[in-house]
Structure 1
Amino acid sequence: MYKIQAFDKIFLPIFYTMVFLLGLIGNLVVIAVMLRYKHTLTGTDTFILHLAIADILLVLTLPFWAVQAVLGWIFGDVFCKIIGSVFKINFYSSIFLLVCISFDRYLSIVHAVQMYKKHKTLLVHMSCLAVWGFCFLLSIPDLVLLQSVNEIRFNTIECLHNFSSNTARYWRATLRFLFHVVGFFLPFCVMLYCYVRIIVTLLSSQGFQKHKAMRVIIAVVVTFILCWAPYNVVLLTDTLVSFNVLNRNCDLDTQIDIGKSITSSLGYFHCCLNPFLYAFIGIKFRNNFLMLLNQIGCIGSQFVKKYLTPQRRNSTRSESGETTYSAL
C-alpha cells in the first residue's frame, strides 16, 4: 500500500498540474473564439461550447486532488461534496453533450432534418440546460455520500464515499450502475448507432470526403471513448471485487488502485485534447482563431491571408428544407 501512496504523491501532482494548465488555457481559447463569433455558431458549435465549459469545471478541481495526493484531504466535508460532484457532473455532461452532437448530425445527414437551425437557438440552449439539469440529478448521490473519510489502508484522510450505513451495499451498487451503464455504455451505443448510420449514408452518397466537419465530431467522440473506457474497465473490475464476483487479494487490490490513478488521470487528460482537435482539424475554428489573433494584434494580416483555409459548403436539399454542412 505504501508503494501506491508513494506513486500517487509523485505522479498525480505533476500530471494534474500539466492537465490543469493545458486544459484551462485551451478551453478558454475555445470559449473566447466561439463567443467572439457567436453569430456564426451552429447547434453543434453550441454543444461544443458547453463541452468546453464542462472541461473547465473539471480542471478547476484538479488542484484539490493534487493536494490530496500529497497531504490527504484537508478541505473538509463541504468542499469534498462540491469537488466530487463537479467531477461527476462533468463526466456525465461531457458524454451526454457528445450524444446530442451525434444525434444532431444523425438527423441532419441521415434524415436531412436540421433540428437546430440558427433561428432556433432557444431549442439548443434548452437542450443544453436539460443536459446540465439531468447531470446534476445524477450527482445527488455524491452530494449525499461524499465525506472526509479516514482511509485506514493509507493512514490518511481522503475524500471518499462513506458506505458505513446499513444501505451501503445498495448505494454502492446504484452509483456503479449509474457510472457504468447510464454514464458510459448506453450513450456509447447511441453514438455508435448514429455514426454507423452517418458513415453508411455518406458512403452511399459518395459524399464522405466532402463532409470534413465529420472529422472533428468523430475525433471528439473517439477521443472521449479512448480516454474514459480504460477507467470504466478498471472500475468495473473493482465493482466485481466489491460484490465478491472476483476473489479479493492484495495483488489485485494493488493493481486496481494503481489502475484507478492512471486511468482516471487519462480521463482528466481528455479535457486538454478537444481544443487541439479543433485547432488542427476544424477549418472553421482555425480560421476564426487566426482572425481573432489578428484583431488583438498578435499576428499580422499577411500571416492570416497565408494560412487562412477556404471553406467549402455542400448542400443537400430534401422535402423538409435545406441542410447545409460545413467544416467546423
Structure 2
Amino acid sequence: MDNYTSPTDYDVLIEDDFSDDMTEPCHRHDDKAFAAQFLPPFYSLIFILGLVGNALLVLILVKYKGFKEVVNIYFLNTAVSNFLFVVTLPFWIHNAIHSWELGDTVCKMISGFYSVGYYGYTCFLLLLIVHRYLAIVHVGRFHIAAKKTTYGIITSTWGIAVLAALPEFLLSHVQMESKAYICHFVLPHYPLGDENFWKQFLTLKINILGLLIPLLVAIYCYGRMKKTSRYKEKKYGLFRLIFVMALVFMGLWTPYNLVLFLRTFQEHLNLSDCESSFHLDRAVQATKIIANTHCCINPVVHMLLDGTFCKHLYCLFHPRNNAEGHLREVPEQQLPTTKGPLCHSTSF
C-alpha cells in the first residue's frame, strides 16, 4: 500500500542565492495534520455507504437471486471483499486523530483485512470478466466445467488474495512517533537496511496486480468477445454491468497507483526536488481517499445497470406487497423498470 513518510525535513536543500552560503531546508508535507483534518469526515461517509450498500447487495443476492448462477457467487464474493475493506476505515480514522492503543495484533489484523479486501475484490472482478468471456466465446464446454470447479476457484482466489496481502500484514506494527503510537497498517515500517527494496516491491506489486493485469485481461477479453457473432446475439446487460464495475474500479485506483509509482521512483525520474516531493506526498494522500471509495460504488453500479436489482430493492422495503413468495404486480408508474411479477424469494 502507500509508503510512509514521516513529517521531518527532506534531504533536499533549496539554494535561493548561489552567491551566499545560506540554504533553506525543504519541509515535508505534514501527513498527520492532513489525515486528521480530512480522513474522519470522508471515511465516515464511505464507511456508512459501503456498509449499507454492500449489505443490501448481499441480501438481494441471497433472498432473490440465489446462487444457481456462478456469476452471482462471484458477485457475493466481491461484496464480502468490500466488507473486509470497509470495516478497516474506522481504524483509519482512529489512527489519524488518536494515539493507537490497540496493540500490534489488532494492527496486523486490520492491515490484513484491508489488503485482503483490496486484492480479493481485484481477483473476483477478474473472475467475473473471464467468466463472461468464457460464457460467450466458449459457451459449450464452459457451462459444464463451471459448476464443477466454482468452489475450488473461489478457495484458490481467496488464497491468492491472502498471499498478495502477506507483506503488508508482516510489515505492519505499532511505533512511537511525535509522542503518539501509530499503527502502520497503511504506512508500513520497512526493515532497517531494506527500505528501498520493500518500497519498490510493494509499489510494483499494487501496480501490477491492481492495475496492469486487470487492464490487460479486460482489454483482451473484450476484444475477443466483440469479434464473435454470439456476442451480438446474446443479451449483453450482464457484461455491461461487469465492464462498468471494472472501469470504475480501475478509474478510482489508477491515479493513486500512478502517483505512488512516481513518488517511490522519484529519484530515478528526476522528481527529487523540494516542490515535486511536496506535491507527490500530498497527491498520494488525496488520491488514496478517492481510491478507497470503490468499496461503496459497487452497489451503486448494480442499482444503475441491473434492472432486477432495483426491483428486488423495492421488494425488500415493501414486504406487504409480497404474498407467498411472490409480489403482486405493481403499477408501472411506481417503478422505473419493467412491469410484471417482481419478487420471488429463493429458498435454500
Alignment check: 8 A CA contact 1:34 1:41 kept: no
Picking from 255, 280, 284, the partner of 1:256 is 280
Q: Deviations over 1:244-282 (max 9, x none)?
A: 443423322322222122211112111111101111210
2:238 is matched by which residue type in structure 1? Answer: A
Between 181-190 and 52-61, report the one with greater CA deviation.
181-190
Residue 132 (str. 1) matches residue 161 (str. 2): no
- Alignment CA distance shift 1:114-1:100 (3 Å): farther
Aligned to 2:182: 157
Counterpart in the other structure of 1:309: 338
SS in 2 for 1:246: coil
- Higher Rg: 2
Q: In the alignment, which residue of structure 2 is the partner of 1:320?
A: none
* Aligned residue among 236, 246, 250 for 1:225: 250
User: 3-state SS of the aligned residue for 1:139?
Assistant: helix
The CA distance in 2 between the partners of 1:150 and 1:63, in whole Å, is 20
| Structure 2 CA distance for aligned equivalents of residues 251 and 10 of structure 1 | 22
Determine the C-alpha separation between the residues in 1 that align with 2:321 and 2:48: 24
Flag the structure with higher helix content.
Answer: 1
Residues 219 and 277, structure 1, Cα contact 8 Å, conserved in 2: yes
One-letter amino acid matched to 1:255: H
The alignment partner of 1:37 has SS state of helix
1:115 aligned to which of 142, 148, 151: 142
Matched, 1:271 2:295: yes
Report the number of matched residues: 306
Would the alpha carbon gap of residues 215 and 93 (structure 1) be closer, same or farther in structure 2, given more than 3 Å must change? same
Contact kept? 1:17, 1:62, Cα under 8 Å: yes
Is 1:29 aligned to residue 53 of structure 2? no
Shift of the alpha carbon at 1:101? 0.6
Is the 1:43–1:116 Cα contact (8 Å) retained in structure 2?
Answer: no
CA RMSD of superposed structures (Å): 2.9
SS of residue paired to 2:139: coil
* Aligned residue in 2 for 1:9: 36
- Distance in 2, Cα, partners of 1:207 & 1:151: 61
Letter in 2 for 1:237: L
1:95-124 per-residue CA deviation (whole Å, 9 max, x = no partner) reads 11111111110111123246356x954522
**SS of structure 2 residue aligned to 1:101:** helix
SS in 1 for 2:338: coil
| Mapped partners of 1:72, 1:176: distance in 2 | 27
**C-alpha distance after superposition, 1:26-47 (max 9, x if no partner):** 0000001111135454211111
- Cα offset, 1:82, TM superposition: 1.4
Is this contact kept in 2: 1:291–1:304, CA < 8 A?
Answer: no
* Partners of 1:224 and 1:200 in 2: CA distance: 25
After alignment, is 40-49 or 127-136 more displaced? 40-49
How many Å separate the matches in 2 of 1:4 and 1:143?
22
Q: How does 1:202-217 map to 2 (within 5 A)?
A: 206-207=232-233, 210-217=235-242
TM-score, normalisation: structure 1: 0.82
User: Quick one: distance in 2 between partners of 1:25 and 1:67?
Assistant: 21
Compared CA separation, residues 165 and 3, structure 1 to 2 (3 A): closer
- Structure 2 length-normalised TM: 0.78
Query: CA contact under 8 A between 1:42 and 1:116: conserved in structure 2?
Result: no
Partner of 1:286: 310
CA 1:4–1:91: 2 relative to 1, 3 Å = same
Tell me the distance in 1 between the aligned counterparts of 2:319 and 2:287. 40
* Distance of aligned partners of 1:44 and 1:186 in 2 relative to their CA distance in 1, 3 Å threshold: same
Deviations 1:274-308 (A, max 9, x none): 1011112102323333333333669x846476525
Percent pairwise identity: 26
Instruction: Say which of 64, 67, 70 aligns to 1:43.
Output: 70
Deviations 1:159-210 (A, max 9, x none): 13222423333333322222111332122211221122223336x86447x4
Residue 66 of structure 1 aligns to a residue in which SS? helix
